[in-house]
Structure 1
Amino acid sequence: MSPLIPFEETTHLFTDFQHTAFRLETRRGYATDRAGARFQAFMRGIDPQPEPEHPWNVNVREKAAEGARFSRIRIIDEPPTDGQRFLMATAAGNVAAGEDIRVLPRAAAERLALPDYDLWLFDFRTLVRMHIDDTDLTIGVELINDPEQVFAVCRARDAAWSLAAPSADVWARVR
Structure 2
Amino acid sequence: MTDRGKQVSRVHVLTSPLTDYLRYELAAYPGDITAGETIGILDKAEQDVTGLPDHDFWLFDDRDVYRMHYAPEGAFTGAELLPAHRLAEYRGYRDRALAEAVPFADYWERHH
Alignment TM-score, normalising by the size of structure 2:
0.88
- Aligned ranges 1:1-175 → 2 under 5 Å: 63-106=1-44, 108=47, 111-147=49-85, 149-175=86-112
Q: Measured at CA, do residues 150 and 157 of structure 1 come closer, stay the same or move farther in structure 2, by a change above 3 Å?
A: same
Cα RMSD after superposing both structures: 1.6
- For 1:76, the aligned partner's letter is L
State the shift of 1:80 in Å.
Answer: 2.0
Structure 2 distance, partners of 1:141, 1:172, is 33
Q: Give the secondary-structure state (helix, strand or coil) at the position aligned to 2:100.
A: coil
Q: What does residue 24 of structure 1 align with?
A: none
Structure 2 distance, partners of 1:145, 1:121, is 12
State the shift of 1:112 in Å.
Answer: 2.1
State the shift of 1:90 in Å.
Answer: 0.8
Is the Cα contact below 8 Å between 1:88 and 1:168 reproduced in 2?
no
**Quick one: percent identity of the two aligned structures?**
35
State the shift of 1:113 in Å.
Answer: 2.3
Task: Write out per-residue CA displacement over residues 123-171 of structure 1, whole angstroms, 9 at most, x where no aligned residue.
Answer: 2211111110111101121112423x12111101111212111112111
- For 2:50, the aligned partner's letter is L
Q: Give the secondary-structure state (helix, strand or coil) at the position aligned to 2:41.
A: strand
Q: Measured at CA, do residues 68 and 118 of structure 1 come closer, stay the same or move farther in structure 2, by a change above 3 Å?
A: same
Structure showing the higher helix proportion among its residues: 1
State the shift of 1:173 in Å.
Answer: 0.7
Is the Cα contact below 8 Å between 1:70 and 1:99 reproduced in 2?
yes
Q: Which has the higher contact order (CA 8 A, sep 6+)?
A: 1
State the shift of 1:106 in Å.
Answer: 2.3
Deviates more, 1:79-88 or 1:153-162: 79-88
State the shift of 1:98 in Å.
Answer: 0.5
Is the Cα contact below 8 Å between 1:121 and 1:127 reproduced in 2?
yes
- For 2:9, the aligned partner's letter is S
Equivalent residue pairs, number: 111
Structure 2 distance, partners of 1:158, 1:76, is 18
Structure 1 distance, partners of 2:72, 2:3, is 38
